[in-house]
A and B are shown apart, each in its own frame.
Chain A
Amino acid sequence: MLRLVVRRLLQLIPTLLGLSVLLFLWLNRLPGGPASAILGERATEAEVARINRALGLDQPLYIQYWRFLKRIAELDLGTSVQTGQPVWDEFTLRFPATVELSVAAMIIAIVVGVPLGYFAARKRGGWLDVTAVSGSLVGICVPVFFLALILKGIFAVNLGLFPSYGRQSTGINATDVTGFAVLDGLLTGEFDASWDAISHLVLPAITLASIPLAVIVRMTRASVLEVLGEDYVRTAESKGLRRRVVRERHVLRNAMLPVVTAVGLLTGSLLSGAVLTESVFSFGGIGSFIRTAIDGRDYPVLVGFIMFIAITYVLINLLVDVAYSLIDPRVRVH
């Protein structure tokens, strides 16, 4: 197990190196260059030259690249053009919100999706199956953005059941411990803050969960159907094993393998879905920050974000592999 983890972590190095070259070249090819992005519309030519000198942009490309790499290695992601604050600080300020939202969405997707897919497969052709299959189709087809607007219009604006925007209500003075609003409230005993944070999470999390939920339902269903038809299930049943044991130990466990892989990939893609969802709900996470970064040509932020996504993907894949080997001992042997 340890070897697997170490090997995968080592694989991060070439991945990130390759990415850094691509990012560096991209940055270099940008119209106007970083100087105009930093100084904005009012820059004079002399100021641009001054910034270029200060940034070392007048030096050969390989030296620039080396410095770029060194800075990334030191976790110095530069300064955000839009806020004038270090990118690292901006990220640590906003990541908890996005992580909280993504985790909530994933929990909804798994907790609802796996049983739904499982029972749909067990009662194939029944009303539950038909509803689940067609419902998941809708979930995949409806754009996240659209769903967000509809949910918000109905449940926040018209019915007033949930807040229409933000992460916390005004007047909630929660103590910040970890940055995760729900967790912080539980840790400090400020349960009203947790409750408030949860009520703010509901609509965006359901929105964000829509696609992974649909995918998980379909994958679980397909996978369970496949496993139900396997010889070993028939053997187990004919051996007289209790049906519950067969279903839980043989069917569900084996059917979960492809689903776990899907969950891993879906978690990565949640981050990009968060950009839209957070914008609609003005949720103060990394998503809406990235959107304004794109609008404002905030390159240091974008570079940091792309590197972060890359690292997250690799780490999630690692987790998937570990989970895989826990579910399926054969993976450990090979």
Chain B
Amino acid sequence: MRILRSRAARAITAALAVGLIATGCASERDKEDSKGEKDTFVFGAPGDPSSLDPALASDGETFRVTRQAFEALLEHESGGSKLVGGLAETWESNDAGTVWTFNLRKGVKFHDGEAFNAAAVCANYDHWFNWKGTYQSSAVSYYWQTIMGGFAKNEDKETPEANYKSCTAKDENTAVIEVKKPSANLPGGFSLQALAIHSPKALKAYEAQEATAKGDAITYPKYSQEAGTVAGTGPYKITKWNKGNKEVTLQRFDDYWGEKAKVKNLVIRTIDTEDGRRQALQAGDIDGYDLVAPADVKTLEGEGFQVPTRGVFNLFYLGMTQEKNPALKKKEVRQAIAHALDRENLVKTQLPEGGKVATQFMPDTVEGYSEGVKTYAYDTAKAKSLLKAAGESGLKIEFCYPTEVTRPYMPAPQDLFELMKADLEKAGITVTPKPMKWAPDYLDATEAGSCALHMLGWTGDFNDGYNFIGTWFAEYDKQWGFRNKALFDAVNAGSKVADEAERTAAYKKANEAIMAYLPGVPISSSPPAIAFAKNVNPPKVSPLTQENFAEISFK
């Protein structure tokens, strides 16, 4: 018995050793095809996607993956924020902005072989419009509700009224989408990944699997968690989601209508720490990654990596909650705070190269940006005199800031806070620091209006002014804690105008009204960086962080 056991053990050990030696280099070889060319691009993402069906999601990590496989009616130009044709070659609306006609691209196929046509477009829009039960929760259908309002039959009083009316396939290649009222979210909304077009065959399969709210949470339907069912028209098809290994694998779709992807396989892997992603790139384990810390940009460039910065499409601001501290109700106090901050210095010392001081609540690349807003230059003496005039010379104020977080618009929040605190104290304001964990503590606190001063920001979804100012000032919001109907009206004035020039003019006026009232201090817009290995020809980087990985190739 004893001999047998040891013989077996010896045999296994020998087999193991031979096997391991023989195949030791296989992992490296697998990345290359028979001609010795690299055929797999590996990208390091900061977080896991939540679903393979973008319609159920509202987060950038999901869209980063699905964007390579699904296309919407409209897209943004590569590397820019201008709307261009996507699955629709051209589009137009009636004067009222309620009837949208899309002339669809011909010869487009879905990954499952189905043909793309007007009926497929309508199948998608009707699918979303007829969502029931759990799908009506804003946690699932956030973007549909933002763009199109509610559903065919709203099940809850709080769900917004439906703005979507109908979709008609006028002929094979013409789809007409009607809405009840004009909206600032159109046509921009037609470009969102959440409204990307799926194969009708896949939609049928989706319908058989409902999202359930059994027990204590929303369970996403199975099809959205495993590759196999979902099918779009994009340059890549999703072939595998290995959750244990935190990676989504995509393969080039050879029947793609446009220019085919240059690299055969695309793998998006989650590496959740900033250092982890940087080191994986330096070690050659990945070919690119996103959310580069501004502090790492110089180092990486010095080592020969490519670190292109995107166009500016975000806004970082100092928020004030008037209901939390009554002094903030006084306009002079808000103005004093604005004058007290040396924003030039913040941008120069804390933000990545290319960062700009913001004069209003949108970056200058967005339609509706106004040159005529009231500005508040750095002037400590003026801040002091304003405070004195307001009778708030000894003002004490609580200032919340987040810890352990980096946002594209806000690298190193603690350093930003320290500088702002010093500026405010120079003007005679006593600052009580209140550090909080980003999620959920800080987000909850700012949302609930329990921070007198705080810092936050936003990256736009599409190029429309309302996507910025409407996010903050369309109505009463606890974060700001004020009611000013004139201001809300000014912000909303543009949102229901169909004519683009008229809308832009309305946004300009709104920006001027906001900066005259000064609900908070816009601080900066900065370009987030993305990194690539030396041997990569990177895609055009997008201000909306919508890179198309099909453009990538190896040198």
What is the interface of chain A, defined by CB distance below 8 A to chain B? 32, 34, 36-47, 50-51, 54-55, 71, 76, 78-86, 93-94, 96-97, 149, 152-153, 156-157, 160, 163-172, 179, 186, 189, 191-192, 194-196, 199, 279-282, 284, 288, 292, 295-297, 300
Return 6 A-B CB contacts under 8 Å, by A number.
A38-B139, A149-B275, A160-B283, A166-B247, A171-B31, A192-B27
B139 and A282 within 8 A (CB): no
**Interface size range on B against A:** 35 or more
User: How many angstroms between the C-alpha atoms of A90 and B118 in the bound complex?
Assistant: 39
B347 CB, min distance to chain A CBs, angstroms: 28
Tell whether A84 pairs with B218 under 8 Å between CB atoms, given A38-B139, A42-B142, A47-B137. yes
A71 contacts across to B, CB distance below 8 A: 215
Please provide the chain B residues from 282 to 297 with a CB less than 8 Å away from any CB of chain A in the complex.
282-285
B283 contacts across to A, CB distance below 8 A: 156-157, 160, 163-164
B158 CB, min distance to chain A CBs, angstroms: 4
B267 and A94 within 8 A (CB): no
What is the interface of chain B, defined by CB distance below 8 A to chain A? 16, 19-20, 22-24, 26-27, 30-31, 40, 42, 48, 50-51, 137-139, 142, 156-158, 211, 213-220, 225, 243-247, 249, 265, 267, 269-273, 275-276, 279-280, 282-285, 437, 439-440, 443-444, 447
Cβ-defined partner of B272 (8 Å) among A42, A79, A160, A279: A279
Tell whether A84 pairs with B220 under 8 Å between CB atoms, given A149-B275, A153-B279. yes
Cβ-defined partner of A84 (8 Å) among B51, B245, B269, B282: B51
User: How many angstroms between the C-alpha atoms of A54 and B271 in the bound complex?
Assistant: 36
Q: Max chain B CB contacts within 10 Å: which of A43, A83, A160, A171?
A: A171
B50 contacts across to A, CB distance below 8 A: 82-84
A282 and B246 within 8 A (CB): yes
Tell whether A292 pairs with B156 under 8 Å between CB atoms, given A164-B279, A169-B27. no
B271 contacts across to A, CB distance below 8 A: 165-166, 282
Tell whether A84 pairs with B217 under 8 Å between CB atoms, given A153-B279, A166-B269, A191-B23. yes
Cβ-defined partner of B276 (8 Å) among A80, A165, A192, A194: A165
Closest to A39 in B: B139
Known contacts A43-B139, A297-B439, then 6 further A-B pairs from the complex at CB < 8 Å, ordered by chain A residue = A41-B447, A55-B215, A78-B215, A85-B219, A169-B27, A172-B27
A165 and B285 within 8 A (CB): yes
B137 contacts across to A, CB distance below 8 A: 39, 47
Closest to A87 in B: B217
B418 CB, min distance to chain A CBs, angstroms: 24
B48 contacts across to A, CB distance below 8 A: 83
A44 and B26 within 8 A (CB): no
A50 contacts across to B, CB distance below 8 A: 156
User: How many angstroms between the C-alpha atoms of A168 and B26 in the bound complex?
Assistant: 12
A43 and B138 within 8 A (CB): yes
B272 and A288 within 8 A (CB): yes
B279 contacts across to A, CB distance below 8 A: 152-153, 156-157, 164-165
